[in-house]
Structure 1
Amino acid sequence: MEQPVPSDMETGEQSKSPSHIKLLRINRELLVTHIRNTQCLLDNLLKNDYFSEEDVEIVCACPTQPDKVRKLLDLVQSKGEEVCEFLLYVLQQLKDAYVDLRPWLSEIGFSPSQLIQSRAVVNTDPVSRYTQKLRHHLACDSKFILCYGQKEELLLEELYTDTVMELVGFTNESLGLLGSLHGLLDHSTGILNEQAETVFLSGNAGVGKSMLLQRLQGLWASGQVGGEVKFFFHFRCRMFSYFKESDVLCLQDLLFKHYCYPEQDPEEVFTFLLRFPHTALFTFDGLDELHSDFDLSSAPDISSPTALAHPLVLLANLLSGKLLKGATKLLTARTGIEIPRQFLRKKVFLRGFSPSHLRAYSRRMFPDRALQARLLEQLEANPNLCSLCAVPLFCWIIFRCFQHFYSAFDGALQLPDCTLTLTDIFLLATEVHLNRTQPTSLVQRNTRSQVEAFCSGQGILHSLGRLALWGMEKNLFVFSQEQVQASELQEGDLQLGFLRAMLEMGPVGEQLSYEFFHITLQAFFTAFFLVVDDKVSMQELLRFFQEWVPPGKTVVASCFPHFGPFQCLGRSGLAREDPFKNRDHFHFTNLFLCGLLSKSKQKLLQHLVPVATLKRKRKALWAHLFASLRSYLKNLPRVQTGDFNQVQAMPTFIWMLRCIYETQSEKVGQLAARGICANYLKLTYCNACSADCSALSFVLHHFHKRLALDLDNNNLNDYGVRELQPCFSRLTVIRLSVNQITDSGVKVLYEEMIKYKILTYLGLYNNQITDVGATYIAKILDECKSLTHLKLGLNKITSEGGKCLALAVKNSKSILEIGMWGNTIGDEGAQAFAEALRNHPSLINLSLAFNGISTEGGKSLAQALQRNTSLKIFWLTKNELNDEVAENLAEMLKVNQTLKHLWLIQNQITVKGVAQLADALQKNTGIMEICLNGNLINPEEAKVFEDEKRIICF
C-alpha cells in the first residue's frame, strides 16, 4: 500500500520523537527470536489497512517462522513510522500472544500516540481464542442448574446459595470458615503444604460439591474469579472409568481431545500452558466415583507432558504436581475419602446449609413473600424437616415436592407436623414424578393417591430398580444406552426425570450415557428393587450391610429372640479394596431398606409385593441390624475415665443410628439403646449433621441411665441442638464444640438444662456465640449447681458477655474450670473476672488467653489473685500485658502459694518484668512454671534466668 509523502512539519515532529523504524531495525534479531505468532500481527495490519492481501500472502509464503517474521518486519519498515508504531502497539496490547517481549517493551518505555491508540486491535492469538472458547463452553455448561427431574430450565444464578465451607487441617481440625468461593483460589489462607498443588473439597452426599464447581465455572466464565486463570479444565472423575486398561494418551490429548479442542494452533496453546502452568485451573469432581483399584500414591511418576500413559496415571501426576506444576487443582470427593498428604495444599469441608443459608435458599425458591413467610414459619415449627433441609439436595427435593402440591391443590401448602424420614421424602418425590404421566387440566386437578401412583408406575420402578442394583453391585454410576435399553426402560420413562442423559467425552469422542440424578436416588431405587422383587433372597437383601463389617472380620451372631433364629451374613463378594470407593451409596441403600421395610410403609408396599414377603424380609433385616449393632459396639475401643466408661464410636455407628431412625419403630429404638453398654459416648469427627441428631435422640431417649455425649467437631448447628431435646434429660456431659452453633441453639440448651439441672460439663468452644448467648450460658451456670466445666473459647463474646459470665462464675460454688480463650472481653471483662476470682471457693483452671486484655485488666487480675486460694492454672497467653502487669503479678506471687501454672506467652513483657517475676519466686514455693515464650526478651537476656528452672523464656 502506498504511503503519502510526509509534510515538512510532520518530518520535523518525527525527528524529535524516537524513530520506530530504527527501533525495529536495531532490535530485529530480538523480535525474530521472540515473535512466534505472525498471524495475529497480519490480522491487525490488514484490518487497519496497513497491509494489503498481497502483503499477507507474501509473508505467509515464507517457509519458516523466522523467515515470516523477517519478511513482515521488512514490509512494515518500508511503510513508514506510523506502521512501525502500530506494530509495536499490537505487541504491547496483546500481552499473552507476545509474552516474551513484555520486558523489552517496558525497557524501551514505548508509549503510543493518540492516533495509534485510536486504531482497533483484534486478538486472534490462539491462546486468547482458546480462552474465549473455554469461557463460552463453561458459561453454557454452568448457566442452568442440573435439577432433580427438571422439565423446565432453572438459572443457576437465580437459585445458587452458598453453603458453609470450613477450612480444616490434616487431621480435620477446624481452621475457621471460608467466606466465599474466591477463598478456594486464595493462596494466603488455609495452606497446609506450600509444595502441594491440590485443593481438596470434601462433603457428604448431596451437600453441593458439584453445584459449587458449577458455580465456580460460571464465575470464571464471566471474569468474576481467577483473574490470572486463562485455562479452566473441568473433568468428572467417573469419565476416567471409560478408559480400558490398555488405553494410553499424552497430556495434550487428555486436555484437548477429551475436553475442549483449540480451533487453531493447538501446539502453540499447549506450549503456552507448559510455560505458564499457573494460568491453569483444573477441577476434578467426584474422586469417590472413580471405579478403579488404582492407588494415587503409588502411580508411576510422569514428568514429561509428551509421555504416553494411562489417563489415571496422568490424573495422579496432575494432582501431585509432577505434571503442570504450579497449576491450581480442585478435587472433590465424598466424606471418608482421603488423598495423600503430599498432594494436599488446602482442605475444605462442605457443611451444607446453616439456618441463615436455609432462609436465603427459601427466599430464592419461594419469591412470593407471603408464601415464603408461611413456609419458614412451618419449617421453624418442624426441626426434623429443618434438619433434613441442612443438606442442599434434600432441601431442594423437599421444596420442589411442596411446590408441586401447592400448585396441584390450589395453594394448600402445608408441611406435615409428623416426623418425616428420608425414605418418606424420596417416596414423595417419586410420587410427584410418576404423576407427570397424568394428563393435566385447568379444570380438574390430579387427585390420585400415592398407592395409585405407585401401582400405575410399578413396571417403570421395577426397571429403574434393576438398573440401579446392577450398577450398585459393580460400583457403576453411569450407564450406556445399551445398558438402559437392556433394563426395559422405554423412551417415555426417561422423560420422568429419574435418569438424565449426559454427553461425555470418552476414548472415542462424545458418547451418550445415562445416570441417576444423584447417587442417593440410585441407592433408593436399589433398595426399592430389593424390597419389591419377590425373587430377591435374604442374602441378596442384606448384601450391602457387609460394608459394616471391619476388614478381615466376619459378623456371625445369634439374633434377638423377638425376631426368631437368623444367622447374620459374613463377607460377600463386594470389593473392599478400592481406594477411591466411598461407602455412602451402600449406606444409603441400607438406610432406604430400613425405611421401606418399616411397618408404616406396609400400607403402600403391600400393593406391590405380598405381605408375607414383606414380613419375611423385615424380620431378616431387623435381626441382622441388631446383631451388627451389638457386634460393632462390642468391638469398639473403651477407656475408663473416672466414673465414665467411654466408648469412641466411628461414622459407621452414625449410619447404624440413621438406619434405626428410618424404621420409626420405638421397639427398635429401645433394643438399640439396650445395646449401648457405656455411659460416655464419644462421636467426635464423625461428620454428623443436624439430621443425625434426630437419629441419635431416637435411640438415646430410651437410654435410662445418665450419659455423657461428646459431639465435638461435627456439623450440628442450631437445628441439631433442637433435635437433641428428647435426650437432654439423660445428659450430664454435653460437648458441642466446633459445630456452627449460634445464640439460637444456646437458648435451646438453656431452656432444656434448667429443667433437669444435672449438667456437669458444657463444651461450646469455637462456635458463633455472641453476648446474647453468653447471657443464656450465665443463666445455666446460675441454675445448674453441679456444673463444673465450661468451655467457651473462640466465640464472639465481648466485654458485656464477659461481665455477665463473670458474675455467674462469682456466684457458683461448683465451677472448677472456665475456658474463654479467643474471645474479646478486654479490660472490662477481665476486671469482672477479677471480682469473680477474689475469694472464689472452687475455680481451679481459668483461661483468659487471647482476649485483648492490657494493663488495667491485667493489674486487676493480679491483685484479685492475692485473695484467691483455689486457682491452680491460669492462662493469659496472647494478650497485651506489659512490665507493669508483671510487677503486679510478682507481688501476687509473694502472697499466693496455691497457683501452680501461670502462662504469659506472647505478651509485651521485657527483661525488666521477667526479673521482677524471678525475684518473687524466691518467696514462692508453690508455683511450678511461669511460661514467657514470645515476649520482648532475647536469648542473651534470658541467660540471666537459666538457674531458675521455673522461668521458661524459650
Structure 2
Amino acid sequence: MEKQGHSEMEIILPDSHSYIKLLKINRELLVTHIRNTQCLVDNLLKNDYFSAEDAEIVCACPTQPDKVRKILDLVQSKGEEVSEFFLHVLQQLTDAYVDLRPWLSEIGFSPSPLIRGKTVLNTDPVSRYTQQLRHHLSRDSKFTLCYGQKEELLLEETYTDTIMELVDFNNESLGSLGGLACLLDHATGVLDEQGETVFISGDAGVGKSMLLQRLQSLWATGQLDVGVKFFFHFRCRVFSCFKESDTLCLQDLLFKHYCYPEQDPEEVFAFLLRFPHVALFTFDGLDELHSDLDLSRLPDSSCPWEPAHPLVLLANLLSGKLLKGASKVLTARTGVEVPRQLLRKKVVLRGFSPCHLRTYARRMFPERAVQDRLLNQLEANPNLCSLCAVPLFCWIIFQCFRHFHTAFEGPPQLPGCAVTLTDVFLLVTEVHLNRMQPSSLVQRNTRSQAETFRAGRGTLCSLGQVAHSGMDRSLFVFSQEEVQASELQEGDLQLGLLRALPEPGPGGDRQSYEFFHLTLQAFFTALFLVVDAKVGTHELLRFFREWTPPGEAVAASCYPFQCLGGGRLAGEDPFKNKDHFQFTNLFLCGLLSKGKQKLLRHLVPAAALRRKRKALWAHLFASLRSYLKHLPRVQSEHFNQVQAMPTFIWMLRCIYETQSQKVGQLAARGICANYLKLTYCNACSADCSALSFVLHHTRSRLALDLDNNNLNDYGVRELRPCFSRLTVVRLSVNRITDDGVKVLHEELTKYRILTYLGLYNNQITDVGARYISQILDECKGLTHLKLGKNKITSEGGKCLALAVKNSKSIFEIGMWGNQLGDEGAKAFAEALRNHPSLTNLSLAFNGITTEGGKSLARALRQNACLKIFWLTKNELNDEVAESMAEMLKVNQTLKHLWLIQNQITAKGLAQLADALQSNTGIMEICLNGNLIQREEAKVFEDEKRLVCF
C-alpha cells in the first residue's frame, strides 16, 4: 500500500524549516492525493483556525482539487502554526489520507508540543464506518444465543474456550491452537501463504457459531489487534431467504444487508476495494446453504459493481475473485470439503475437555454449593459427562439442571442411568413446556412428563410441522407464511425453541424464523414423523434413504447408510453435509424405542405407533445386515480386521438410541471380525457409550483401534463394559489424561488379557506412567506398549523401566517425544541388560545427553535380544558414538541403530565405521542430520550400512 503511494510521488523538501514553504513546494502532490476535504475543514473549524466564512468559501468550490487548493491558500495565509496543524491532521488521520503516509514519513514530520495538544476530530467516513461496525457487532455479540426470551446471558460471562486443533491438508494434527487471536496470525499453522480462508470444522453443537460470536466480540471491543478495519459476519443459512431472481451488487450485499455507512458509502466502498486486506469476513455454516446449491458450479463474478445473485457473490468472495486479499473465516460441520487452494489454515473444534467442562460449570453456576452438586451428579454418570463434551448438549443439560434447581423444592436431580440424546431433548422440551404454565407461590408443578406432553400436543405438532417442512428441503430459515401455515400460536413462540432471526434476513422487511439449532429442528422433525397420523411408513423412513449409495445392489428401502465411500454420493456437492438427516434418523430411533412408548401413547394412536415401530425395526435390521456385510476386511497376521467408516459411528448412535439389547446383539454378531478399526472416524466420548452398547455382546476376544479420534477420559470410562473382551486397546491421539489411564488400569488388570496398549500423543504424566507400569506388571501377555509424545519425565520413566525389566513378554516399547532425560535413560539401560524379550525400543526425542547415552551403550553389551533401537533427536555426541562403537564389537544381535539428528561429528562416524569391521549383525546405523559434512562422509561411502545423508 505504502510502496505504491511512494512510487507516485516526488518528495520535495524545503530549504529551511518552514511549514508554509513545505506546503507550497509540495502543493500539487497534496492536491493530487488529498481526497477528503471535509475532515480538514472540520478540524480547522474545531480549533478556531477557520471561520465559518472560510468553510463556506471552501465548500463553494466546484471540484475536489479546487477545494484542496483553496484550503492550502487559506492555511498558508494564516501562518506557520496553522500550516503545522494542517500537517498534523494529515498525519493523525491515516485512513483518510492513506496516500500521504509515505510522504509524511519521508519528510520526517514531528509536530511541536503545542500542536500535539490540539484536538483532532476523526470525521473520515472509513474510520466512522469502522466505529459503526464495532458498535453494531458489539451489540450483536453481547449476549449468547439461548432458548427463551428471558434467559439472555452475557457472552463475556459464559463463553468458555473449547479444544481447537490445527490440522494439515490431510487432517493430521499440528497441535492445539493457543487462542482466538492465533486464528488470524501469520505464524501459527499456515498451510498455504496464498490461501485466504481459515476453515473451522466440527460436529453439530461443538461451538463453531459461539467461536465466531466471541471473535466478533473481541474485535468490536478492540481486544483483537489483527489490523482489521472492516468485520463482516454472515450466516450462510440466511442466504436461502433470497429468491432465485434476486440480484445484488457487492456494495449492496455488504451495506444494505449488513450495516449501512452513516456517511459517504461510496468512499467507504472505494477504500474497501482498494485495500481489501483490511477486511475480515466470517461465514458461519457453509453446509447450511440450500441443498440444491453447488458452490463449485456457480458462475464467476469478479466485478464488484456487477449485479449477481447473492450466492454467486458468496462463492466469489470465498474464491478470492471478489476482494482478493480479504481474510475469511469459514465454518462448517465435519465432513464438508473446501478446495485446498482456498485454505490458509484448517482448525477442528473438539468440544469440552473435562477441564473445560469444570470451567464452564463454574461460569454457569457461581454458587459453590450448586456447582459442586452438579459436578458430583455428572461424575456419577459417565454417560451424561460424555454428552457434556459437546458444548450445545452441555448447555441444554445445565439449563435443565438450573430449571430443577429454581422450580422445585429440594436439591435438583439430573437423569440417572443411561441417558440418550433423545432423553436430553425430551427433557429440555418438557422444561420449556412447563415454563409456559401459570406459576404459583404456594404450589409447585407436579405434572408428569407424559401429562406435560399431552397438554402441549398442539404446540409440539405445530413445531414439528415447521421443522419437517424445512428439513425436507434442507432449509433452516422459515418465512412468516410457513410459520403461520403451521398454526403456531404467538404464545408458542415464547418458548424460545423457534425464534425470530436476530435481524431481518435478506428477504427484506419480512420476518424470518429459525430453530435454536439444527439438532433441535431434527428432533422436532422426528417427533412430527412419529406423532402425525398422516405420515406413512414410506415417509417415516424418508431421511434414511438420503444415504443410499448409487448403484447399490441392496434395495434402497433397506439400506440407509453409505458404508464404503465415507458418506458422499457421486457427483454430490462437496460443500454439503447431511448430518441433519442423520440426527433426524437418530431421534426417530430414540422416540420409537420401547422405553418411550409410555410417553408417546398419549400423543399417537397405539395402532399407528406399532405400525411405525415395526417398519423402523425391520428397516434397521435389514440395514445392519447389509452394512456389516459390505464393510471392507483385511487379513493381518492372526487378525481378521474390519475397517469401519465414519458412517459406522452414526449407525452405532442410532443403535444406542433404541436402547434395544436385541439390536445391540444383532450388531455384535454381524461384525464377524476380531479386529475393529475405527481410526479417524471423528468419534467423541459419547460415541463410546454406543460402542460399548454393542461390543459388550461379543462373545470372542476383540482388538479395538480408536486412534485419532476425540474420546478423552469420559470416553475411556464409557468403554468399561467391553474391556473384558479387548486384547488390543489403541487410544492414541485422543486427549486422554492420567484420569483416563487410571480407568484403564482398573479395568485391564481385572481381566489381564491385554496384548497391545497404544496411548501415543495423549496428555499422560508421571502419575499415569505409574498406572501403566502396574498394567505391565499384571498383564503378563502384554507385548506392545506405545507411550510416545506424552508428558512423562524421568520419574515416570523409572517406574516404566522397572516394569519393563520385570516383564517376560514385552516385545516393543515406544517412548518417543517424552522428557526422560539421562536419569530415565539409565533406568531403561538397567531394563535392557539381559532382557529376554524386548526387541524394539524407541527413546527418541527425550533429552538424553552423554551420560544417558553411554549407559544405554554399556547395557547393550549385555543384551542379546534387542533388534531395533531408535535414539533420534537427542543430544548424543562423539563420546556416545565411541561407547556405541565399543558395544557393537560385542553385540551382534542389534540390527538397526538410529542416531539421527544428534551431535555426532566425523570423529564419531570414524569410530562407528571401525566397529563395523568386526560386526556382521548390524544392518544399518542411521546418522542423518548430525554434524557431519558430505566430504567427511565420502571417506566411508563403501560402508553401505552407514547412512549419513
Distance 1:876 1:661, change over 3 A: same
Q: Distance in 2 between matches of 1:944 and 1:298?
A: 60
Question: Percent same amino acid at aligned positions?
Answer: 82
Matched residue count: 930
Match of residue 260 from structure 1: 259
Match of residue 619 from structure 1: 614
Residue aligned with 1:639, SS: strand
Deviation at 1:416? Answer: 3.0
**Counterpart residue identity of residue 470, structure 1:** S
Residue aligned with 1:271, SS: helix
* Unpaired stretches in structure 1, ≥5 consecutive residues: 1-14, 558-565
Match of residue 703 from structure 2: 708
Q: Distance in 2 between matches of 1:658 and 1:820?
A: 35
Match of residue 902 from structure 2: 907
Q: Distance in 2 between matches of 1:670 and 1:845?
A: 39
Q: Which moved more, 1:169-178 or 1:99-108?
A: 99-108
Deviation readout 1:307-349 (Å, 9 max, x if unpaired): 4443333323322333333322110001111111111211111
Deviation at 1:569? Answer: 8.0
Deviation readout 1:673-705 (Å, 9 max, x if unpaired): 111111111111111111100000011101111
> Which residues in structure 2 correspond to 1:45-60 (within 5 Å)?
45-60=44-59
Match of residue 803 from structure 1: 798
Deviation at 1:151? Answer: 2.2
Deviation at 1:665? Answer: 1.8
Match of residue 4 from structure 2: none
Q: Is the 8 A contact 1:670 1:702 kept in 2?
A: yes
> Which residues in structure 2 correspond to 1:12-31 (within 5 Å)?
18-31=17-30
Is structure 2 residue 751 aligned with structure 1 residue 756?
yes
Q: Distance in 1 between matches of 2:884 and 2:659?
A: 60
Q: Distance in 2 between matches of 1:909 and 1:251?
A: 61
TM-score by length of 1: 0.95
Deviation readout 1:728-780 (Å, 9 max, x if unpaired): 00000011111111000000000101000000111111111111111111111
**Counterpart residue identity of residue 876, structure 1:** L
Deviation at 1:292? Answer: 4.4
> Which residues in structure 2 correspond to 1:237-256 (within 5 Å)?
237-256=236-255
Distance 1:615 1:396, change over 3 A: same
Match of residue 767 from structure 2: 772
Q: Distance in 1 between matches of 2:560 and 2:154?
A: 48
Q: Is the 8 A contact 1:233 1:255 kept in 2?
A: yes
Q: Distance in 2 between matches of 1:380 and 1:829?
A: 35
Match of residue 106 from structure 1: 105
Distance 1:463 1:840, change over 3 A: same
Match of residue 813 from structure 2: 818
Match of residue 566 from structure 2: none
Is structure 2 residue 440 aligned with structure 1 residue 445?
no
Deviation readout 1:257-309 (Å, 9 max, x if unpaired): 22222222223222322332221111000011011444444554444433444
Deviation readout 1:48-78 (Å, 9 max, x if unpaired): 1111122112112222222211111111000
Q: Distance in 2 between matches of 1:96 and 1:660?
A: 60
Match of residue 359 from structure 1: 358
Match of residue 198 from structure 1: 197
Match of residue 182 from structure 2: 183
Q: Distance in 1 between matches of 2:587 and 2:924?
A: 57
Distance 1:944 1:568, change over 3 A: closer
Match of residue 213 from structure 1: 212
Q: Is the 8 A contact 1:239 1:505 kept in 2?
A: no
Q: Is the 8 A contact 2:814 2:841 kept in 1?
A: yes
Deviation at 1:482? Answer: 0.6
Q: Is the 8 A contact 1:472 1:526 kept in 2?
A: yes
Q: Distance in 2 between matches of 1:895 and 1:362?
A: 61
> Which residues in structure 2 correspond to 1:923-938 (within 5 Å)?
923-938=918-933
Residue aligned with 1:281, SS: strand
CA RMSD of aligned residues (A): 1.9
Deviation at 1:579? Answer: 3.2
Deviation at 1:533? Answer: 1.4
Q: Distance in 2 between matches of 1:915 and 1:90?
A: 71
Distance 1:312 1:923, change over 3 A: farther
Distance 1:277 1:945, change over 3 A: farther
Q: Distance in 1 between matches of 2:789 and 2:271?
A: 46
Deviation at 1:789? Answer: 0.7
Match of residue 944 from structure 1: 939
Deviation readout 1:407-433 (Å, 9 max, x if unpaired): 111243122332211111111111111
Q: Distance in 1 between matches of 2:544 and 2:171?
A: 27
Q: Which runs of 4+ in 1 moved over 6 A?
A: 566-571
**Counterpart residue identity of residue 342, structure 2:** F
Is structure 2 residue 655 aligned with structure 1 residue 660?
yes
Deviation readout 1:176-214 (Å, 9 max, x if unpaired): 111211121122111122221111111111111101100
Q: Distance in 2 between matches of 1:363 and 1:411?
A: 21
Distance 1:308 1:889, change over 3 A: farther
Match of residue 3 from structure 2: none
Q: Distance in 1 between matches of 2:506 and 2:141?
A: 24
**Counterpart residue identity of residue 402, structure 2:** Q
Is structure 2 residue 842 aligned with structure 1 residue 847?
yes
Match of residue 455 from structure 1: 454
Residue aligned with 1:609, SS: coil
Is structure 2 residue 424 aligned with structure 1 residue 425?
yes
**Counterpart residue identity of residue 118, structure 1:** G
Match of residue 629 from structure 2: 634
Residue aligned with 1:544, SS: coil
Deviation at 1:19? Answer: 1.2
Q: Is the 8 A contact 1:197 1:326 kept in 2?
A: yes
Match of residue 920 from structure 1: 915
Deviation readout 1:444-498 (Å, 9 max, x if unpaired): 2122221111111111111111111111111111000011111111111111111
Match of residue 11 from structure 2: none
Distance 1:505 1:28, change over 3 A: farther
Deviation at 1:242? Answer: 2.8
**Counterpart residue identity of residue 739, structure 1:** N
Residue aligned with 1:123, SS: coil
Q: Which moved more, 1:101-110 or 1:779-788?
A: 101-110
* Unpaired stretches in structure 2, ≥5 consecutive residues: 1-13, 563-568
Q: Distance in 2 between matches of 1:568 and 1:21?
A: 84
Match of residue 731 from structure 2: 736
Match of residue 598 from structure 1: 593
Q: What is the aligned counterpart of 1:867 among 858, 862, 869? A: 862
Is structure 2 residue 309 aligned with structure 1 residue 310?
yes
Is structure 2 residue 695 aligned with structure 1 residue 696?
no
Deviation at 1:150? Answer: 4.1
Q: Is the 8 A contact 1:554 1:570 kept in 2?
A: no
Q: Distance in 1 between matches of 2:460 and 2:418?
A: 25
Deviation at 1:104? Answer: 1.9
Is structure 2 residue 388 aligned with structure 1 residue 389?
yes
**Counterpart residue identity of residue 634, structure 2:** V
Deviation readout 1:359-395 (Å, 9 max, x if unpaired): 1111111111011111111111110110111111111
**Counterpart residue identity of residue 316, structure 1:** A
Q: Distance in 2 between matches of 1:924 and 1:147?
A: 72
**Counterpart residue identity of residue 657, structure 1:** L
TM-score by length of 2: 0.95
Match of residue 780 from structure 2: 785
Q: Is the 8 A contact 2:422 2:587 kept in 1?
A: yes
Q: Distance in 2 between matches of 1:47 and 1:421?
A: 67
Distance 1:150 1:386, change over 3 A: farther
Match of residue 463 from structure 2: 464
Q: Which moved more, 1:258-267 or 1:425-434?
A: 258-267
Q: Distance in 1 between matches of 2:346 and 2:631?
A: 28
Q: Distance in 2 between matches of 1:411 and 1:536?
A: 42
**Counterpart residue identity of residue 116, structure 1:** I
**Counterpart residue identity of residue 654, structure 2:** C
Residue aligned with 2:458, SS: helix
Match of residue 883 from structure 1: 878
Q: Which moved more, 1:483-492 or 1:294-303?
A: 294-303
Q: Is the 8 A contact 2:733 2:759 kept in 1?
A: yes
